[in-house]
Structures are given as structure tokens and as C-alpha cells.
Structure 1
Amino acid sequence: MTVTVARHIVPGPDAERFAERLSQGVAKRIDRLESSTDAIDFAFSTALQALQAHCVADPQAAKLETWEATVNAMQVGSALFAVTGASEGTVDCRINEKMQTLSAIGPQPFADAGNWLTAFWLAVICREQTRMTQLCEIPLERLRSPEGTYDEFVYHYVDVLQTYWLQRSGLVDKLIAAIETSNPAVAQTTPRDLLQGVLYPPINLFYHFVRKHEEGFSPALEEALKLHKAYWTLDEDREADIDGAVALGPLAMASLAYDGKLPIKVESDYLPKHLLEHGWLGEFPTY
């Protein structure tokens, strides 16, 4: 039996227009990148907002504009790590349907594990295997925040995903380390509600996916979406924030499971149908 988890955000009468305005802003930020890549992190955050806004207006991601917003966010996220991975010269990146020659800017604080996870999740959702490989080849130490922004479990989870995708050894031990260090008694920096509602569920979903646990994946996915909903409805400010419209981490893990032929017995606007089932794949060049 398929379970439905209702999304807390419903599209209002101005939802499409708002999403389009955000996409226009993203296009302008992208056009400025060739003259200056210093603000690429702002372009990424704006592209993520546009993706979420389009998914509010188009809950199943059935419109081409939603796919374009998803691809743009994925491309900007990948470009962020491409330009911060080199200290001189230029990097060619396809963004918003054209090739852009961007200046390398070297290591930056925003090229961290948090943005890496988001960029990787987007690459998974878009089924961009080359980008997934490029992201996974980034050394883990390069993603560490000098300010100690993240608890150790975040880096363990990055290591798990890189190890899985590049078929390196030690996956089981690394996954155990990610699970153990995400225990609230161990993770001291991450707020408890963020840990339990947003950051831990994708780790748990990957655990069920990599074990090919057909009976466990969908219940874990249902729980992940309910925890996501609880986090984003904790107060009025969060409830009104479009950043909670799509559960990116669970969607990425569900995309891996879907492609791996695990049955997905959960439906939700937190997991837009045509993104989960890669309905737009191959519509236009994305790399």
C-alpha cells in the first residue's frame, strides 16, 4: 500500500509568478558569473530558492520550467566547486543552457561540506553521473570548515557517499561511523531539531538503500518526510519558508533507490514525481 505524506506548503495564486521572478533573478546572477565568480555562492542559494518556488507552483515537477530550475541549481552547485577547486585560470561550465568560462577563485569558506551535500544531492536527482564523480573526487579535507561549523558526522556522510559512488573500500565501516557520530549525544554543534529533522534522515535512508532493504526503505522514507515536515512547521517563520518545499536529501536517496529498483511506496509533494522518476531526463543537454 502506498502512503501519502501531505506537504505543508500549498501553492497560492501568485506562486507561478513568484517562481518566474526568482528564475529571472537567477538568470541575471548567472550572467554576471563570467565577469565575477566571487558571488557564486549567492547565485547557488538563489537558484535553490527558485527550484523550491517552482516546486511549490508545480508540485509534481510536470512543467519544463521546473526542470530548468532544477538543472540550473545543479549546474551552479557543481560550478561552485569547480571554480573553488583551482586557484588560477578559468573553468568551462554549462549553466542555463550555455557554456560559461568562469574565473577560478581558489578555496573559499562556502565551498564546504554543507554545500557539497546539496550539490551532490542535486546531481543525483538530475542523474548527472559525471558531475557526481567530479564532486566525489574532491578531497574530504578541502570541505572542512576551519570554523568548526559542522559536527563530524557530516564529514563521515560525505565520505560515505564518495566511497559508495567511487567504489572505494571501507563503505560499511564509514557508514557505521556516520550513524554513530550522528547520535544526538555525540553531535554537539548541530541543533537537535536540525539533526533529527533534516540531516540524519538521508543517512538512515542511504543505510536502507545500500542494504537493498526493500521492506525498510519506504517506512524510513515516510518517517524522513514526516520529520522534514515537523522541522519546517515548528514555527510560523519556518512554515512560510519555501526552503522546506522539497526534501532534497530524502529525494536524492529515493532517486538512488528508484534507479536501483527498490519499490517506493511513498508519495508526497516533498518528492516531486517527475524529479523522482527522472521524467525530464534527456530533455536538453545539461553537461
Structure 2
Amino acid sequence: MNENNTFGMPDAPDHELPMLTTHQANRLRALAAPYTQEGHTHFLHNLAQKCRQAPQEHWPEMVAGHFGRLAEAGNGDESAAELLRGVHARLIPTDSLTPEIAGAMSYARVVAEGLVFAYSLDMPTSVRMLTDPDVERAGIEELGQAAYANLMRVPVEHDEVPTEGGAVLHSLYGDSPFVASKALYLSETVRQVTDESLPDAGALFVVPTRHLLAYHPIADGSVADAINALAAYGLGAYEDGPGSLSPRVYWWHQGRLTSITVIDHDTLSFSLQPPPELLGRLKGLVRLDRAGRLDTATAAKAPDVAALTHATADAIAGLTDDPAGLGDAFASALTLAHAHCAADPKASHVDTWDAWAVSAQLGTALFTGASAQKCWLGEDMVPQLPETPATPPAQARAWLDAFYVALACREKDRADRLCQVPLEVLRQDDSVDAYVLHWIDTLQTYWSERPIDDVVTKLLATMETSHPESLTHTPKDFADLIDYQPVALFHRLIARDHDAFTKALADAVDHHRTYWGDSSAPRARVALGVLAMTSLAYDYGFPVDMPQPYLPTCLLNRARIEEIPAA
């Protein structure tokens, strides 16, 4: 396809058959004309795709063979039983529907930009689209039920395709021309093929040809890499064919298909523009992953602590030239602190404490600024944190991490300073759900020793907005099993209910185990929010059994707590 030619010139893409030039498409129509004089409507897209890959001297026999198979398939005189036995729900490209064909299939409907839902009859030697008389003969309800059941019986092969960025694409493929049409019922298809359910946010997918469906569940921040990988994968397969269907990337969510690809037909350029609802979800997941809060493909392997230590030291040293890297340096230090607890779950070693202490230094500096100070990461690594201005970023989850670390390290002054960060700044973070901001408001109100009635009011707002139906950014299992547990503990803490706190703590530890399973991700090692709330409870004289899984004993009981350079 020559993109530089003026539209309409002989070697420019044909408007209805863009896989061919105008000259080639006209020749194909001329070859097909003798076979289409009986008043029947026929699709030429699949035939055009095959002809594009063959020398033109072979086209006459290919056209003859194509229409010969259609003739053997019959002319729409099948019985209702035969129609129900062979009908399949099918996706077809919108540009294949000429006015004549569309007029014969008034039941068909557009389900997403570039895709039309229709019924197709699968026969031994060919496949044909059903027309309105066919639908009337079989009955629209009966036909719909049979089309769904037959489609779900179509066999597919399943492969996992890793990408350079670490995301994994799932590829479903097969000989059947109905494989891609399974995207209509993607949730059921995924469950059928993998025995897993799609996340609440759904999945991104491509259907470049009728034989191929590739998707990526929207479960974590790896979606940032997956979206571009899907776009490239889908466009390449669409251009290669045969049986091209759509070059677009789509979002499947609660049974709806939405194109997130925008095509400029004048320049033949493609861009990805997720709708606001999806964009909010993607931003929330990427922000979660940035600090290693979610178990992703890139975080699945246990990190090299020595390499991570050097990376953290380098990140701190680089702040003199690039102060904007403080957020990344904090995330790296906190990942290091968690990673140390894999080999040192009690946090009894000096190197482990150093990592936690540096996390407290960087977390506070990120939001409140700091004077110049040394950051100990080992005898031979003591990078200098330069003097940092107080310019808090709109990163609500990073604030929570910084506050949790300050509590676990018993850094009251740092916690005081963090609670002076204006909530209005953190509310500018559009990657989090409302309950996260209400929770921060609750903590700031409590720590600032405001009336307990104010604290309770804000706590109730946190609980109410954390219900599953209120979530638009956070995965429901993460919100329930991880984010909500410190809230539940805080509720028992301010009530001074020791027994209820003990039970809530056991639940929180169990939920952490349930969420992370056997993951090697650093965040799996320590339940940070739970550790913070339990540290408060311990200091308030609550009975806390030790050791507790995922709660480093030497932090919890203050045995390893040492002085940290003043902020």
C-alpha cells in the first residue's frame, strides 16, 4: 500500500477493498461480476485478501473456485433446523458492508467502531452471511441462542506472548473463521480457555484477522506496555492477513466493546486515545506498579538486593543534578527495604534497618522538603541527600507509604510534618479512588489531635467510598485485601478494643497472604499499612503476639529502631 499517493489514483488503496489498489479492486470486481448477477449479495474482502498475496494471473481461477464453493453451499434455501445447526455469531468489518449488503442484513448492528455483529452460516465447504429472510425463517431469539452456543464450541489454541516491557499477551488462534468473533463474549472465552476470570476492569484486545484474537487483562500496571504491544501486534497481523478484520485496539468491559484507536484517514495514521473511564483505570494501575505495590510480570522475580542497593544509592546521588528524581529514589529505597525482609524477615540486620531509615528520609523529603543529610546504605555507600525544597507532589499513595514508614520507624517528627501536607495537593492525584483520599484525611485529622468526632466522620467516609461499586481505579481485590486492612485496624485502634484489634490483625495478615500467595515481589514481604497500624497499637499498650507474619519483629517491638538524621 503506497500511503503517499493521492487518494483515487490507480495505485492508491481502494475505498471498499483497501488491501488492494483501486486498479486491482476494479479488476477483481470485473472477475466477480459474472457470478453476482443473480441478485445475491457477496463479500469480497476475504477473496481480496487472498488475491493480494497471489499473482494476478491466478486470480481468475481463485475467483471461480471461491464462487464455486459458494454455489455448492446453497442459495438460502436451508431449513430452520439447518440454520440453527450451523449459525455462528460473527464479527465483520464495517467497511465490508456495501449499501446493498447492509440492506439485506438489517438485523446486523455496529458493536464498536470498525466492527459489525452479524450471523454467519458455517457449512462443509464455505461460510455465508445470513440475510433477513434467513433470520425470519429461523426466529431471531432461537438464532441468537444457537449462534452463541455454536461460537463457544469453536476450538482455539492458546499461547502466551511475552513483550519486551514484561507484559504478557494472550493469543487465541485457530483454523476457524470464527475465532476472532469470540471477542464478543471475551469473559466467557477467557474462563473457558484459561479457567481464570477477567479483572473487573476487563481487557484490551485486538482482532486483526478472523482467525486471531489477542488480549491482555487490565489487572496491573503492565497494561502500560501491553497497550502498545497489542497495537503493534494487531496492526502487523491485520496487514499480513489473510482474513483481515480490524487494525484497532479495543477495550472489553462488562460486555461492551470500545475502540481506543483513532484513525486519521487522510494521513493513514493511528493513535491510541482511551476514553476517560479507561484512562483513569490505567493511570491508577500504573501508579500502583510504580512503587511495586502490585505483583506484575516485571516484579515476579526476587530482586537482587545488592544491585537494588547500588541503584538506590545512584538514584540519591543523582538528585543533586536532577531533583525531580526524588520520587523514584523513594520508590527504589522502599522496594529495597521490603526486599531485605525476604532474607531478614525480622529486620534484625543493620543493612535492613538502613534501608528502612533511608525510606523514611526520602519519603518525608519528597513531601515536606529536607535539609542536606547522609543516607546510610552500607559502610561503603553513604550518598548525600541534598537540601530539598518543600514541593509536595500530587501522589496520594506515595504519601501513604511515607506516612506508614514514618510510623513503623517511630519518626514522630516526620509523621507530624507529613500531616501538614495540604490535602488539596494530594486531591489533585486523579489516579486514585476517593477512599484513598478520605483515608489520608482521616490519618491527618487523627494525628493532628483534632476532635475524635471529626476523625470518626472521616473514617466513615473512607469505609463508605471503599465499597466495590465505588471503585474505578483500584482492583477490587487489592482494595479489599490490602488497602482496606489498615483502615479496619485503625477502626479498632481508636475504639481501644483490644480483642477486636487482635482479630482484625489476624484477618489482615491472612488477607495479605491471600493476595500475594507465593509471589517473590518485594511488597509481598511486608504488610506495610498493617505494620504501621500495629506499631501504633503496640506503642499504645495493645497486646500484640509476636512474631507475626509479614510484620518485621524488630521494627514492631522497636528493637532495631535507631536514630535517623533529622529532617
TM-score (norm 1): 0.83
CA contact (8 A) 2:403 2:418 kept: yes
Q: Give the aligned partner of residue 128 of structure 1.
A: 411
Structure holding more strand per residue: 2
**SS in structure 2 of the partner of residue 92 of structure 1:** coil
Q: Which has the higher contact order (CA 8 A, sep 6+)?
A: 1
> What's the CA shift string for 1:25-80, capped at 9, x where partnerless?
21121111122211111111111111011111111111111100100111111111
1:41-190 superposed matches below 5 A: 41-83=327-369, 91-97=370-376, 100-104=385-389, 106=391, 108=393, 111-146=394-429, 148-169=430-451, 170-190=454-474
**SS in structure 1 of the partner of residue 469 of structure 2:** coil
Give 1:178's aligned amino acid. T
CA distance in 1, matches of 2:385, 2:564: 17
**SS in structure 2 of the partner of residue 61 of structure 1:** coil
In structure 2, relative to structure 1, the CA distance for the partners of 1:281 and 1:242 (3 Å cut) is closer
Q: Give the aligned partner of residue 533 of structure 2.
A: 253
Q: Give the aligned partner of residue 243 of structure 1.
A: 523
CA contact (8 A) 1:36 1:103 kept: no
Give 1:141's aligned amino acid. E
CA drift of 1:105 comes to 8.0
In structure 2, relative to structure 1, the CA distance for the partners of 1:215 and 1:72 (3 Å cut) is same
CA distance in 1, matches of 2:390, 2:495: 40
Give 1:69's aligned amino acid. A
CA contact (8 A) 2:482 2:511 kept: yes
CA contact (8 A) 1:71 1:126 kept: yes
Q: Give the aligned partner of residue 12 of structure 1.
A: none
CA drift of 1:266 comes to 5.6
**SS in structure 2 of the partner of residue 114 of structure 1:** helix
CA drift of 1:285 comes to 4.1
Structure holding more helix per residue: 1
Q: Give the aligned partner of residue 192 of structure 1.
A: 476
Q: Give the aligned partner of residue 561 of structure 2.
A: 281
Give 2:312's aligned amino acid. V
CA contact (8 A) 1:75 1:95 kept: no
Larger Rg: 2
In structure 2, relative to structure 1, the CA distance for the partners of 1:67 and 1:107 (3 Å cut) is closer
Give 1:22's aligned amino acid. L
In structure 2, relative to structure 1, the CA distance for the partners of 1:177 and 1:284 (3 Å cut) is closer
CA RMSD of aligned residues (A): 2.1
**SS in structure 2 of the partner of residue 208 of structure 1:** helix
> What's the CA shift string for 1:85-111, capped at 9, x where partnerless?
xxxxxx514351576333548454xx4
In structure 2, relative to structure 1, the CA distance for the partners of 1:202 and 1:95 (3 Å cut) is farther
Which blocks of at least 5 consecutive residues in structure 1 are unaligned?
1-14, 84-90
In structure 2, relative to structure 1, the CA distance for the partners of 1:128 and 1:163 (3 Å cut) is same
Q: Give the aligned partner of residue 271 of structure 1.
A: 551
Give 1:264's aligned amino acid. V
CA drift of 1:286 comes to 5.4
TM-score (norm 2): 0.43
Identity percentage of aligned residues: 37
CA distance in 1, matches of 2:492, 2:450: 19
CA contact (8 A) 1:246 1:270 kept: yes
Q: Give the aligned partner of residue 40 of structure 1.
A: 326
CA contact (8 A) 2:353 2:561 kept: no
